[in-house]
Structure formats: C-alpha cells, structure tokens
Chain A
Amino acid sequence: MNRFLIPGAMLVLALVYPLLVQSLPVYERLGALVLLGAIGASAWNIVGGYAGQVSVGHAVFFGFGAYSAVVVYTHLGWPPIAGAPIGMALSVLLAAAIGVPTLRLSGHYFSMATIAVGELVRVLSSTSEFLGGAQGLGGPAIPRTVFDLSFLSATPFYYIFLAVLVLLLWLTWAIERGRMGYYLRAIKDSERAARSLGVSAGKYKLYAYMLSGAFTSLAGSLYLCMFGFVDPESGFGILISVKMVVMAALGGAGQLFGPLVGALILVPLEELSNSLLGGKGAGLTFVVYGAIIVIIARFLPSGLLSLLGRRKVTRAD
C-alpha cells in the first residue's frame, strides 16, 4: 500500500498543477516542458539506466520523431501529430539497424559509436532537401483544425505529455518487475555473468534499445507539435542527447522516477536561470546551471533519488 502512496500523491499533484498556475502562462509552459524532458529522459533510462548501455546518441530518435511530424505536414499536409506513430515505427527499425552492430560494443565504445551515428545523421539531415536542409522545417503557422495542436495555453500539451509519461512509466515499471527487468539489471552488473546464466544479453539489450528509441521519437514528435519548428541542430544536436543523459543521471539512472526527478530540477533551473540572468548577456546562465550540476554530481553521485532510497541502491549494487 505504502509504495503507491508517493507515486499516487505525485500524480494527483501533477493533475492539479495547471489549475494552480492558471493565470501564469510561463508556469503552465514550464510544467509542460518538465514533462517533455521527463519523457525523453525516462525513455533513455530504459536502455541507458536499466540496461547500463550509455547511449549518447539518442537525439537520433528524437530528431526522427520531430522530423516525421513536420514531414507529414510539409509533404502531405497532415497534422504533425499524425507523424508520431510513423516516427515511432521508423525509430524501432532504426534502433534495430544501429543496435545490432553497436550493442556488441562494451562501455565507452558503445557510447562513442552512438555519438558517431548521431553526428552522422545530423550532418546528413542538413544536406537533405526533403528535410528542409540546414534551414529546417516549420509546422503549421496558423492552426487549420484542432488536430494541429496549436493552443494559446500550454495546458493541453501538459495533459498530453502527462498521459504519455504515465504510460511510459507504467511500462517501465512493468518491465522492471518482470523477467526482462531482471535480465537487464543482470546485464548491467556483469554481461558475462548474465550470459553464463543463460540470459540472451544481445536480444534483451536490443529490445530495450528499440523500446527506448520509440518513446524518444514520440518525445521528438511532441516537441515539434509544441514548438512548431525543427532544424538539424534542434532535432539531432548532440546537446539533446546529453540533456537526456544528464537529467536521468542527476535524478537517478536505472530508477523508475529518477529521470522525472532530474527533469523536475534541471528544466526549471534552466528556464528560470535564463529568465533571470539571460538578459544580462554575460553567459551567466550556464555558469550557474553548470555549477549546480557539478554540486549535485559531487555530493550525490547516484542521483537525487539516492537521498530517499539509499538502502535500495546499495542492495542493487
């Protein structure tokens, strides 16, 4: 009973949040941005956290999602959100194509391979006329129907993002408790030991990578619907991959609510520091932002959630 108490309370709080900030559009939007960040980081967490395969190229999937959404609008005239399932399907295929050769690499070599693929796709996208080249593509400037998801307030996005995040976390929870969860953690601890016990490590790593890619792609499509524009840098840029990793690591990688906690800290920190300090034009934002990340990393190397569940973490170790 007790273990549902905190998630339950969090969900209730999440549901009423937009009502609390109703006349403050910036905070409505901030809520949506936190959830969007949490979706991306939670998706990364499946392969990066649970399976311990630190991908630094997840922007590939994010960009695929964002571009799928904008491409169905630009070339077919569909509402961008219709591109989301296409992006997810493509990302699953792409994950298989990238994962089969690269997941055999261990540790840093896997991370390096994912960076290489990410940068390669970014450069290719900037030369593709179909994708708008280096200039990027914009979504519907003026909404045609409600399906274009162009709202004055960020609240509709907030609830869409919340629904996706709940689904994703529920799925992650189900995996965590099931056979696959045990396999993934065994692989993370020692792939060789896991293999010797009969775990098909390659297969399960690939499953995790494909699922992770699909939801990262969905995050990209949702991003496009909200912001209405993507170019190679904002779709495939390495900073997008890095942000997912940092968010998950800061909150607690390999833990269900770790990425959400990371997003709850990092996204407001980023937005508020830019709002308060950005106009001064001295780059102070990044100094403060970076310093806080360093402090958390120094004193809580297993992430913020380790404050709550130290016992659990030691047991998992």
Chain B
Amino acid sequence: MVGAAALAAGLVRPALAQDGTVKIGVIYPLSGNSATAGNYSKMALEVGADVVNNGDAELAKLIPLAKGGGLPGLKNAKIQLIFADNQGTPAAGQNQALRLITEEKVAALIGAYQSGITLTASAIAERHGIPFVNGESVAANLTERGFKWFFRVTPVALDFARAYSEFLKAQKAAGHKTDNIALVHENTEYGNSVGSVIIDQFKKDGFTVGTKIAYSANSSDVQPQVLQLKEKNPDVLIFISYTSDAILYTKTMKELNWKPGIMIADNAGFNDPAFVKSLGSQVEGLINRSAFSAGKPGSVPDLFNKIYTKKTGGDELDDVSVRGLQAFMVLADALNRAGSTEPAKLQAALKATDLPAEQMVAGYDGVKFDDKGQNVKAASVVTQMRGGRYVTIAPKARATAEVILPYKGW
C-alpha cells in the first residue's frame, strides 16, 4: 500500500514546468577519479542546451534544432539541465537518479559515464518508467537486461575492436608487418574488458596477440614492462591506458629507446587533453580511435567544436565529451518529436529515432536504436597523431589525411 502511494506520488509529473522549460537530469562524475571527464562532459551538454535554447546561425543550416527558441515541437520549451554528481560510486549514482526523477521531476536522464554506475542509475529509471539515455558506457551487459527505458548511443568495445582489426588488415595488405602483436592494458574494468574483446575479435580475424601485459594504472614505474616489450619486440603494440600511465609509458619508451612499427592506443589516457598537450609531440604517428573527428570546416562537429572551445577556453571536444553531447542531441530530438514530456510518448519517440550521419556531432553513421536500446549506427573513427594533433585517417568518408607508417615517436 505504501508502495502504491509512492507510485502515485512519484509519477504525477507536470508535462511542462510553469515557465515553459523541460528538465533533463544529468548524472556525471563531477568529483572523484573521473571528475575531469565528467566536468568536460558537463560543459559539452551546456553547449548543446545553449544551442537548442538560443540558437546558432551556422549550425541552424545543418541541424533543425539549432534555430534557437527551444523545442518547436514542444511549445518552444527551453531545456533546463539539472546536474548531479555520482561521486564515482554506484550507490551515489542511484540515489541521485531517484532524486532527479522524484524531486526534480525530470523528463529523462542522461549519464552516468562509468558502466557500473550507469547500471544502478538506469535500474531506478526503469522502475519509475523514465527514459535513460546513455552516451559513453561501454559494458556489454547494459543493453542485455531487457530494459524498455534504456537507450545507448555510444559504440561498445566490440566496435572499437573491429575498427582496429580493419585498420590492421589494411596495413597488412599494404605490406606492413602485423604478425607479432602485443597488448598492454591497465588492470581495472576498462583495461580488462576492452582488452579481452580485442583479443577475441583479433582471433576471429586471424591476428594473434602474442604478448599480453596487465599493469596497475597507479604504478610509478613501468620500466619492467617496457623492457619486456623491448625483448619481445612486437610489430604492433596496443595500449589500453589511463592518463598518468600513458605519460609514464611514453617517457619510459623514449628513455629506453624502443618503439614498435605500429603503435595503437585505445583512446582514454592517450586522448586526454593533458596528455596531448604535454606529450603529443613524443608520439608522432600514434594510431588512436575516437568518437570525435573535427572533420571539414563548416561541418557539424567543426561548428560545435568552435563553440565548445570558446566555452572551455581552449580545450577541444574529445572522445568523451562529444559522446555526451551526442546523447543530449538525441534526447532533444526525441523530446521535440514526442511533443510531450509524458514518459511513454518520449519512449516511443526515442524508439523511432532516426538521425542521419550529416547531423552527427560524434563520428557515428547516425542514430537508430535496436530492440535492446543499442544505437546500431554507432561507430568509431581511426585517428593518427600528426604534429601534436589527432587527424582522422579512416573510414575513408571522414578521413582528412592518409596514414603514415611506421610509427615515428619522438
């Protein structure tokens, strides 16, 4: 009986607030280990909301929702973002999700960066019947739960693995050596899960990972690992690392003067603005993946990047922030088409989402959800470090440069 009362009380939500705004709850790690990523994503979403609410003349030519004046399909409602800090713990993420749903009466939730926190936070949204749009959590099981209110815009680990495999196949065909592959990964969730997906996919595609080194991202010395690599001397080296360890590996490899023919880094640490700024010049020719590709001047990512760079005072959109921004644009589009903040109508609109590649700010082929809520058009671009900046080299349609091998380093 108590539960029924709470149900009744919790689900009575105003279609629109008095002042004609629609609230979106955003859960990100704004403190703790991943606070940097969370705060960059926060700024990216603020850029998105600003474009929808106040418009941008250049973007309006490419995206219907960038004309300004809010959501035309929803009585010109302006979007209000309500941010909450998940503090890096699954419990805080779930508690905040409940607060945003029942106290702030948000129309939908976006979040929550770490896969484990997305799992607990979206479970609450599912029970309350509120749409949850995820922009960046890659754990496979998130879309295997039979949820009806969960929508994931980001590509998952398997998509990354395929992108690397395709890239290596092309290099093999071009005559580069790819027989001896080494995988070096940090030993928490991110490194372990992405690492094992890459190994599985490579096996299927006929590549063998001969050397696999797991290490702790907190370690202050990686000489033993680099010496081991030097001894095995692989043709291809793949890193799955966070920031401080990426810096350490880059410096140690230079000190010990060893480099492979092809070096690939799975995003994260090697994409961190802090890494790119200080050590970009030391990893010339590094292959990376990204959801962000600045693309050609005047394209959607290019225009969004300009607004974002102005807001952050110099930092460009990166893989994480662009995926958050893309998730926001998907939700804004669905709200506009739903013409209502009623959960069921919004859910139906999300299911019917079909955004074309030209409107993407992230490097996806579009957005269209399958029955499980996974974006089937999610994809990654392959990038290469050139003169302190990543340029897109694959797929062909988005490439702004040709690949140059072997890896040059410092």
Contacts and interface: CB of A to CB of B under 8 A. Distances in A.
Contact of A25 (B42, B102, B141): B102
Given A134-B192, A278-B31, A23 B9 contact: yes
Interface in B1-27: 2-3, 5-7, 9-10
B30 A275 contact: no
Given A141-B145, A234-B91, A234-B116, A26 B102 contact: yes
Given A229-B116, A231-B116, A285 B87 contact: yes
Contact of B91 (A227, A275, A283): A227
Interface in A1-37: 18-19, 22-26, 28-29, 33
Interface SS of chain B:
helix
B31 A138 contact: no
Contact of A275 (B3, B84, B188, B189): B84
B98 A278 contact: no
B237 interface: no
Nearest to A18: B2
B223 interface: no
Contact of B39 (A22, A138, A281): A281
Interface residues of B, number: 50
Interface string B67-85: 0000000000000001111
A142 B127 CA distance: 9
Contacts of B193: 133-135
Nearest to B118: A229
B300 to A, nearest CB: 26
B95 interface: yes
B103 interface: yes
Contacts of B187: 126-127, 134
A274 B85 contact: yes
Interface band, chain A: 35 or more
Interface in A130-172: 133-136, 138, 141-142, 150-153, 155-156
Contacts of A28: 6
Contacts of B141: 138
B91 A152 contact: no
A153 B192 contact: no
B42 to A, nearest CB: 6
Nearest to B38: A281
Interface string B186-207: 0111111100000000000000
A106 B157 CA distance: 48
B35 A25 contact: no
A134 B87 contact: no
Given A134-B192, A136-B116, A274 B92 contact: yes
Contacts of B87: 274, 278, 285
Interface string B99-140: 100110000000000011001100100111000000000010
A73 to B, nearest CB: 13
B116 A135 contact: yes
B54 interface: no
Contacts of A156: 3
A142 B90 contact: no
B85 A151 contact: no
Contact of A271 (B2, B35, B83, B95): B95
A23 B5 contact: yes
B111 to A, nearest CB: 12
A109 interface: no
B249 interface: no
Contacts of B224: none
A173 interface: no
Contacts of A228: 119-120, 123
Contacts of B84: 274-275, 278-279
A282 B116 CA distance: 23
B94 interface: yes
B257 interface: no
Given A25-B98, A231-B116, A278-B87, A141 B7 contact: no
Contacts of A150: 127
B167 interface: no
Contacts of A286: 31
A227 B90 contact: yes
Question: Which of B2, B39, B98, B188 counts the most A-chain CB atoms under 10 A from its CB?
Answer: B2
Contacts of B123: 141, 228-229
A142 B146 contact: yes
B30 A278 contact: yes
A274 B96 contact: yes
Contacts of A279: 30, 82-85
B31 A229 contact: no
Contacts of A152: 3, 6-7, 10, 127-128
Contacts of A135: 115-116, 139, 189, 192-193
Given A26-B99, A134-B188, A153 B90 contact: no
Contact of B10 (A25, A274, A275): A25
A126 B116 contact: no
B5 A22 contact: yes
Contacts of A18: 2
B324 to A, nearest CB: 13
A278 B92 CA distance: 10
Interface in A24-55: 24-26, 28-29, 33
B89 to A, nearest CB: 6
Nearest to B150: A141
Contacts of A134: 187-193
Given A33-B95, A278-B85, A229 B119 contact: yes
Contacts of A230: 90
A275 B99 contact: yes
Nearest to B3: A153
Contacts of A233: 89
7 contacts: A26-B98, A29-B98, A141-B147, A228-B119, A275-B99, A278-B31, A285-B87
Interface of A: 18-19, 22-26, 28-29, 33, 126-127, 133-136, 138, 141-142, 150-153, 155-156, 223, 227-231, 233-234, 271, 274-275, 278-283, 285-286
Given A227-B94, A234-B116, 15 more contacts: A126-B188, A133-B192, A135-B116, A135-B189, A142-B146, A142-B147, A152-B128, A228-B123, A231-B189, A278-B85, A278-B96, A279-B30, A279-B83, A281-B28, A281-B42
Ranked nearest first, the 3 interchain pairs of A and B with the lowest CB-CB distance are A278-B85, A141-B145, A23-B9
